[in-house]
Structure 1
Amino acid sequence: MRNIVVEKLNSLPVEEHGVELVERKGIGHPDSICDAIMDQISVNLSQEYIKRVGNILHHNIDKSLLVAGEVERKLGVGGEVKKPMLLVIGDRATFEVDGIRIPVEEIAIETAKEWFRKNLRFVDPDKHVKFQVELYPGSPELTDIFRRRKGLLPANDTSAAVGYAPLTSTEKIVLELERYLNSKEFKAIHPEVGEDIKIMAFRQKKNLQLTIAMPLIDRYVTSVKDYFEKKEVIKSIVEDFVSEKAQNFENITIDINTLDDPERGMDGIYVSVLGTSAEDADSGQVGRGNRVNGVIALNRPMGTEAAAGKNPVSHVGKIYNILTHKIANEIYQKVPGIKEVYVWLCSQIGKPIDQPKIATAQLILENGTSIYDVAKPVEDIIDQELANIEKFCNELAEGKYSVW
């Protein structure tokens, strides 16, 4: 028997709050880069462990620092990199088991290079990034649970996580807009837009204001005047996209690159050589970016664990972070009468991951719906998801869920 509690939450859904704040850091943001690369290293390392020894071995690739480099911008022709970025890849991994060597460092570096090639058009990882791998074997107490593995592993940490459903209209538009601006289709028409797009949404009642930071690539901008003309074109496209997608708002305001000042020349425009502020302005870290559902929603409860890069079979900091959102969505979609749902999971180190110390669903109900009407189906969904957690962990190991 699992310790599952279902309770009514006496509060307004976030959609009905008077004020809402939501942020998303795009694929080129230094924090997103760290999250995405470290998690991909975990996925690739997990597959290598399975290939060589038949099991996923102990690893947590969840400590990373992307140190900004130095560039010189040149309008019209494109600038140059004076000092490359530095990506530090750190924490713990298994390098050898039963005489079988695992090429951990090689996998980490090649994974990172491949990610840069695939996702940032102007970053050449062989020229623009240096790599420093600080991965070492883990402690005997934690690594031993992998060696004596039989079925589900015990949790390797005492940790809590929370997920929710559904997304609000504000959360949805922030997520959809960044993905649109960084899509291959948009970049094919507007290659001047860099990947380091950050969106902050402020909703007050039915009024939505979006503040967007978005570099333009210097080689596609011929002058300061051309920069502002291109920015106005992009702003118009953003306004059309948001107006079409976000129909729950009465007034929508879009501001792009609000630090710009045409009187300051090159110093008053946001242009980039590589499309990411990590080229010379902003460093990044794992865990400082988006939550696992893709947004930073300040009206929502959040866990403190960084999911990216943690191993997918025993580290609840990853497993529960993503699973709570999955369970919340299942409940919202399958159980009628629910306006909003929050799912909480808390592990206890050493206990099986399918047996959390507590699993809780907090429900905001539609008028006329009783907690007695929904408690049993909600409990059944939680119980079934935990019963199938091994399948879910295998999907995590295959990279089927985004962590940023």
Structure 2
Amino acid sequence: MKLDLYVDYQDKIEKEYEIVERKGKGHPDTLADALGEQLSIYYSKYTKERYGAILHHNFDKVGIMGGQAKIEFGSGNLTQPIRILLNGRASSRFGNELIPVKELLINETRSFFKKRYPMLEVEKDLKILYEVSDGSSPGAVDSSEGTRHYWFSPRDLNDLSELKFLANNDTSMGCGFAPYSTLESIIIEVEGMLNSQEYKLNKPWLGNDIKIMGVRFNKDIRITMCIPQICLHVANLEEYKNNIEGVRKDILRIFSEYKDYNFELFINTRDKYDSVELYLTFTGSSIETGDEGFVGRGNRIGGVIAPFRTYTMEGISGKNPVYHTGKMYCVVATDIASDIYRTTGHKCEVVLIGQSGQSLSKPWKTLIKFEGDESYKESIHEIAHNRLEKISECTDKIMENGYILA
């Protein structure tokens, strides 16, 4: 297989400035991504075990629409339910057997929220709007003899065309990079610490809808954060303030490890202590107060939003893990970039572009931005070729949550 591959050799990829954002795991957009992906994995494992293959589906249009809550120091409750839009498409039949898609997805959705928000009574506090369909994409002409008519209701495995020829389902692109920049690493480390089970063992007040925005100009880094507190575990305003200062000290300890950089940290800049307007919540997330989240509006592949990097708008969570162009090309591009960096020690960014209906393992165009010279050309081509030839192996890794999709 000969790749249509172009390598842009550069002296330096990283700029003198960058902006990096991460929406923490309790942010509505990140929750929507996580829910869409969990539903895809659950459905994929169910159908593979039962029918021998992952059936056609996509849950990349899932949405979370906030409820309403009453908040006081030491107490709180939901006054209106959180609305969950289960949207997308899924095979509802295999042969003569009906698949209980609605029951499967609703039960898994309730489990998803109960695990993350034990204070919720999921039967009462979630209002699930079920809009999943089994309509085929364009191509199922009535007079045709192809398998497109049976895309979401296969008669048997012979109707799954990807088992014979793995093709792009769409004209789309995916991208990946390696390694993380210093600012990206810091932001991931800080959010990861604050949202870790270990850190929260003695901080039950700490919510998970943590948002971080960082800006770097050369060696000067400014970071602003939103950190929620859970009202059931905060007795008064003084306690709220002390909690923030305790977290601030822990974050500054992380900053102190990066001795070549100058830092400035801002936390909860919207708080107004005089009028007691605070980031105080019942659940620890803004999903309780009207905020909304949808798949694809948050973090990109790798878990950050970095607008000065090679970038795709593709919302990959919840998409089919076998043949969806945007998803498969994002994860394999990440693998290619990681292999190149590990082999050469040089930074790189990878873009893969696919044409609908053409081979998934043979991108229409492959573009690689590489911080180095042409002496690495052979290694770069070999790595890209080997990874793309084995692209189907990415499916198992996706199914085991082996990639940071958002």
Question: Do they superpose with TM above 0.5?
Answer: yes
The residue aligned with 2:392 is 390
1:125 correspondence with 2:132: no
Deviation, structure 1 residue 138: 3.2
Q: Which residue of 2 aligns with 1:205?
A: 218
Amino acid corresponding to residue 8 of structure 1 in structure 2: D
Q: Which of 241, 262, 274 in structure 1 is aligned with 2:273?
A: 262
SS at structure 1 position matched to 2:26: coil
1:146–1:45 Cα change, 3 Å: farther
Alignment partners' CA distance in 2, 1:240 and 1:174: 13
Distance (whole Å) between structure 1 residues aligned to residue 80 and residue 356 of structure 2: 44
Mind listing any 5+ residue stretches in structure 1 that lack a counterpart? none
Q: 2:341 aligns with which of 332, 335, 338?
A: 332
Report the Cα offset of residue 13 of structure 1: 2.2
State how far apart, in whole Å, the 1-side matches of 2:386 and 2:159 are: 25
1:308-347 map, 5 Å: 308-336=317-345, 338=346, 340-347=347-354
- Which residue of 1 is the match for residue 48 of structure 2? 50
Gaps of 5+ in 2: 141-147
Provide the C-alpha distance between the structure 2 equivalents of 1:195 and 1:121, rounded to a whole number of angstroms. Answer: 13
C-alpha contact 1:58 1:138 (8 A) present in aligned 2 = no
**Are the counterparts in 2 of residues 27 and 33 from structure 1 also a CA contact under 8 Å?**
yes
How far apart, in 2, do the equivalents of 1:308 and 1:232 lie?
35
Aligned to 1:186: 199
Aligned equivalents of 2:290, 2:101: Cα separation in 1:
30
Query: Which residue number in structure 2 is paired with residue 360 of structure 1?
Result: 367
Contact 1:70-1:81 within 8 A present in 2 as well: yes
1:252 to 246, 254, 263: 263
Q: CA deviation at 1:391?
A: 1.4
SS at match of 2:396: helix
Query: Match for residue 299 of structure 2?
Result: 290
More off after superposition, 47-56 vs 4-13: 4-13
Q: Output the CA distance in 1 between the equivalents of 2:360 and 2:329.
A: 9
Map 1:4-403 → 2, pairs under 5 A: 4-10=4-10, 12-14=12-14, 17-76=15-74, 78-139=75-136, 140=140, 141=148, 143=151, 147-244=160-257, 246-249=258-261, 251-265=262-276, 268-336=277-345, 338=346, 340-365=347-372, 370-371=373-374, 373-403=375-405
Give how far 1:153 is off.
2.1
Indicate the larger mover: 171-180 or 388-397: 388-397
What is the deviation of 1:71?
A: 0.3
Deviation of 1:182 after TM superposition, in Å, equals: 0.5
Q: Distance between the aligned counterparts of 1:151 and 1:402, measured in 2? A: 29
Q: Is the contact made by 1:40 and 1:399 (CA closer than 8 Å) also made in structure 2?
A: no
Deviations 1:35-88, CA, capped at 9 Å, x for gaps: 001001000101111112111111111002211100000202x20110010010
CA distance in 2, matches of 1:185, 1:361: 39
Task: Show CA shifts across 1:214-269 (max 9, x none).
Answer: 1111112111222112211221121113323x3441x211111001111112xx21
CA distance in 2, matches of 1:310, 1:60: 5
Distance 1:92 1:11, change over 3 A: farther
Change (3 A) 1:11 1:131: farther
Q: Which residue identity lines up with residue 368 of structure 2 in the other structure? A: A
Q: Using the aligned pairs only, state the percent identity.
A: 32
For residue 263 of structure 1, give the secondary structure of its aligned residue in structure 2.
Answer: coil
**Deviation at residue 8 of structure 1 after TM alignment:** 3.1
TM-score of the superposed pair, with normalisation by structure 2: 0.92
Using the alignment, how far apart are the partners of 1:262 and 1:394 within structure 2?
Answer: 50
Q: How far off its partner does 1:105 sit?
A: 1.3
Counterpart residue type for residue 217 of structure 1: I
CA 202–345 in structure 1, closer or farther in 2 if over 3 Å, else same: same
Counterparts in 2 of 1:297 and 1:149: CA distance versus 1, 3 Å = closer
CA–CA separation in structure 2 for the residues paired with 1:206 and 1:146:
57
Shift of 1:11: 5.7
CA contact (8 A) 2:162 2:323 kept: no
The 8 Å contact of residues 47 and 398 in structure 1, kept in 2 or not, is answered as no
Relative distance call for 1:122 and 1:253 in structure 2 (3 A) is farther
Figure out how many residues of one structure are paired with residues of the other and give that number. Answer: 390
Q: Deviations over 1:294-342 (max 9, x none)?
A: 1001211211210000001111121111211121011111124x2x211
Tell me, what secondary structure is at the counterpart of 2:62? strand
TM-score, normalised to structure 1's length?
A: 0.92
Greater mean alpha carbon deviation, residues 113-122 or residues 32-41: 113-122
Larger deviation, residues 212-221 vs 229-238? 229-238
Equivalent residues of 1:6, 1:375 under 8 A apart: no
Q: Tell me, in whole angstroms, the C-alpha distance in 1 between the residues paired with 2:175 and 2:313.
A: 10
